Structure 1
Amino acid sequence: MLESSVPKCEKTPRTRARRWLCVMILFLFGIFYILEPRVSWSSDFWTPHSWSSQSHNNTTSSDNSISPDYPSLPSLSSPPSPYFVAYPHRYRFILNEPHRCWLENPFLVLMIPVAPHNREARDAIRNTWGKETAVLGRVVSHYFLLGLSKEEDGTETLKEQVLQESRTHHDILQSDFLDSYNNLTIKTMLMFEWLSSHCPNTAYAMKVDSDMFLNVHNLVNMLLKAPQHLYMTGLVVRGAAVLRDHTSKWFLPVSAFPERIYPPYALGLGYVFSMDLPKKILEASAHVKAVYIEDVYVGLCMRHLGIALTDPPRGALFRASIPHWTNSCYWTSVITTILQNSRQLSDVWRVYQSMNTSVCAQ
């Protein structure tokens, strides 16, 4: 064998370079696999990419109100962040009215989130604006949206009280999540789920808080002239700064939401939307991580969809509080006003009904 010949087993510079290249590729791949984040940033917020597919204990739904392809709840082995809520998730309705909206075919559905123990608020609404079921020739329905509570009242449990109330009034939708302020986003998203599944012929819906005066006549009158698609209005907030004060009720840290300004959103005290939006907002929720501030979260979903909110035809229709000075026609001129309690709603309703609407309309 000549001195210059190279045996097959000997390493040449070219083969060594190839082997080093393979080793480096495998090394970098291993580092990327280990350090790859489970959640990545999107332009709108956080997008869950790899939530666990393992079901939680209560992930079975008894009706068709939850899409079967929704991601399941992330692993709860570590304490959840106080700034996010467990959504999307397969919650189920334990008290439901699955056929009522189909049968009534309402023009407008009023969805009222309320705590399970707040029977006083539900009765006040049933005796005031909640009893307006036919307005300007259109059918209007209302439902109360509840979660679960651990509270009990005397010897009769709250669960039994709510069940009896449901059997009497047929206007309660209760789901199996803990009813709390920080879970309002869950309650709101379940509202969209239920509407999307149960009210196929409804034109509009409104989320309205239980401590609100609602002029249903003015609301229906506005909607008769409103857009029928991709429409949401209310008291629209634009350019709101993200609160970084730790003592604020609506505090969000930079780690939870890095932007300084929120996108436009409608205040949660009462906003109206066309019924093509619930399904779209639910689709967006698979891409936008759910913060606990529910009206901000709906605004984030709307931004993800590229759908702009609509200002009401008059700025004073949706009010956050009663002005210091009001005239005798105030209650006939607004759609919503926040009140102090249920007793005040009953008093205001008597005043509203005593007003001469023909004179106030002039």
Structure 2
Amino acid sequence: MMEVNEEQRQVKSGGRSRYHRSYVIFTILLVLSLCFYINIYNNSETWTATVGLFFPETFHNKTTNVSLTTVSREIVSLNTVSRGIVSLTTVSRGVPAKPWKPPEPYYVAYPYNYSFVINEPEKCQKENTFVVLIIPVSPGNMAARDAIRSTWATERSVADKIVSVLFLIGLPTSQDSEKIQEDLLQESEKHHDLLQSDFWDSYYNLTIKTVVMLEWISAYCHKASYAMKVDSDVFLNVKNLVNMLLLAPKQNYMTGLVARTAMVLRNPHSKWYLPKTVYSPAHYPPYALGLGYVFSLDLAGKIFEAAQLVKPVYIEDVYIGLCMNHLRIALTDPPDGSLFNVFPVDYNRCRYSKLIATTTRSLKDQVYFWKDLQTPGPYC
């Protein structure tokens, strides 16, 4: 009996020894791996972004712009390609395999010399544009583009004034980015209404997207009178928009749903959080909410120039307000406070016949509202 117990103790002791040896070996391998990782990535993006908040001049070339510099060189070397269109296989040379993600939610890589991968440089000149509508949309959201093309984007002439429509996109970041890019090239050849620039298309890069929009307008659409940035989930009454602009100022004019004395959100869990290290005042200057704002063409160039001086934040409509504040140009309230609506307005023909823009709950709603509004009969 004692021999059996002794044998059992030896078995248990041997098992514990093997367990301890395995644990020691695993620990050593883990430590070695971590040392290797830290050595390779000791200048991490998160650390660099924190430093970049205080030294933006030396920082902006260390993250996103490293890859975009390579992209830009590829595009410049392909200027002979028809209408400036190149395939993603060309665009992606030198770009990391994984899509870039912002080190911090309020970080923006701007200013920077972005280039257009897909362009329509003669759009406004050929159409003799009065107002150009630019719709920022994600590369893979063809459904939203088609819904707009089949509804309010068909209203190209109002009161003898030409309305031009363009969709603005960045580089796709999903796993099937090559297929999305090929689809975009085909879509562009079919509709000739896409603008694509070489920045990663993401929520946190909306400020880049907006300033690129301003750059394009000032470069290629400067003979138009007005421009409007309008979100893809918005129902737009083009007739009412043009009629309002016929009576609007020709310079230093921006209107929409203007927010005044809006509080800066300091809750880190908020989608619109900004820390004091990025923006210290408790309130923002006046700005037009991003669902849709209209401006005279002279402001495109002025705001673009201001964007080279004003510290960027990722909340794009706030940033445009910061640039306007830098320029000391006041925003204009619309002639009627119900013309622009940030919350979806319940549909009826009378109400929708009087507004200019409202967010909607679905693409199906956008299409139905527009089609119903076109049917004959009194609105109210």
What is the CA distance between 1:323 and its match in structure 2?
Answer: 3.9
What is the CA distance between 1:327 and its match in structure 2?
Answer: 4.7
TM norm structure 2? 0.74
Query: 2-side partners of 1:216 and 1:127: how far apart?
Result: 14
- Larger CA deviation: 343-352 vs 105-114: 343-352
- CA deviation map 1:319-352 (0-9, x unaligned): 112345x654011010001011211111111221
Higher helix residue share: 2
SS at match of 1:183: helix
Question: 1:188 is matched by which residue type in structure 2?
Answer: T
| C-alpha spacing 1:306/1:158, structure 2 compared with 1 (3 Å) | same
SS at match of 1:86: coil
Q: What is the percentage of aligned positions where both structures have the same residue?
A: 53
Of 158, 181, 185 in structure 2, the residue corresponding to residue 159 of structure 1 is 181
Query: 2-side partners of 1:287 and 1:317: how far apart?
Result: 33
Query: 1-side partners of 2:369 and 2:350: how far apart?
Result: 12
Other-structure match for 1:27: none
- CA deviation map 1:240-271 (0-9, x unaligned): 00001111100001111111000000000100
Other-structure match for 1:343: 364
- CA deviation map 1:104-134 (0-9, x unaligned): 1200000000001100000000000011111
Query: 1-side partners of 2:269 and 2:207: how far apart?
Result: 21
What is the CA distance between 1:355 and its match in structure 2?
Answer: 5.9
Query: 2-side partners of 1:90 and 1:121: how far apart?
Result: 28
Other-structure match for 1:312: 334
- CA deviation map 1:19-49 (0-9, x unaligned): xxxxxxxxxxxxxxxxxxx989xxxxx8966
- Which consecutive unaligned segments of at least 5 residues does structure 2 have? 1-50, 80-101
Tell me how many residue pairs correspond in the alignment: 300
Q: How large is the Cα RMSD of the aligned pairs?
A: 2.4
- Which consecutive unaligned segments of at least 5 residues does structure 1 have? 1-37, 41-45, 64-78
1:290 pairs with 2:303 = no
- Larger CA deviation: 336-345 vs 80-89: 80-89
Query: 2-side partners of 1:161 and 1:318: how far apart?
Result: 33
Of 175, 189, 206 in structure 1, the residue corresponding to residue 228 of structure 2 is 206
1:250 pairs with 2:272 = yes
Other-structure match for 1:241: 263
1:356 pairs with 2:377 = yes
What is the CA distance between 1:101 and its match in structure 2?
Answer: 1.4
SS at match of 2:256: strand
| C-alpha spacing 1:355/1:180, structure 2 compared with 1 (3 Å) | farther
Question: 1:345 is matched by which residue type in structure 2?
Answer: Q
Other-structure match for 1:193: 215
Other-structure match for 2:248: 226
| C-alpha spacing 1:160/1:264, structure 2 compared with 1 (3 Å) | same
Query: 2-side partners of 1:268 and 1:49: how far apart?
Result: 28
Query: 2-side partners of 1:302 and 1:317: how far apart?
Result: 22
Higher relative contact order (CA 8 A, sep 6+): 1
What is the CA distance between 1:80 and its match in structure 2?
Answer: 4.7
TM norm structure 1? 0.78
1:278 pairs with 2:300 = yes
- CA deviation map 1:122-180 (0-9, x unaligned): 000000001111111100000000011133669x8111111000000000001111111
| C-alpha spacing 1:315/1:94, structure 2 compared with 1 (3 Å) | same
Other-structure match for 1:74: none
SS at match of 2:133: strand
Q: Superposition pairs for residues 133-144 of structure 1, below 5 Å?
A: 133-144=156-167
SS at match of 2:167: strand
Do the aligned partners of 2:344 and 2:361 also contact (CA within 8 Å) in 1? no
Other-structure match for 2:71: 58
- CA deviation map 1:189-235 (0-9, x unaligned): 00000000001210000000000000000000000000000000000
Other-structure match for 2:20: none
Query: 1-side partners of 2:183 and 2:60: how far apart?
Result: 36
